Amino acid sequence: MAVYERVIAGSFDPVKYEKVIQKIRSANPMEILEKIEAAHIQFLTPEDEDWPHQIDDLVAPPIALTVKGNTSTFTIPSLAIVGTRNPTPYGMRIASDFAA
């Protein structure tokens, strides 16, 4: 489990990932994976075959993803619209127009 080992070793920004690092350090990794599997969720790391390599170019790519559903859609061209959780009516309309 390379991501777990890198987090424990401090290979990630400790300020940015402080909460995640504390949870990982205090948890049993096998127990976490068992819970994820029981929920029919996939836990992906950059080492996994299904990892969506499109996100590797992000300024701060995630160290892991939990995925529920079909990972084959990761290879389909896509567009992400990122914004606030509390958009204005104008923001909602423009995002809807872009997505159409």
| pTM, full prediction | 0.56
pLDDT of residue 18 exceeding 90 = no
Q: What is the pLDDT of residue 3?
A: 63
**What does the mean pLDDT of the chain come to?**
84
φ, ψ for residue 64, nearest 5 deg: -165, 160
Average pLDDT score over residue span 51-67: 86
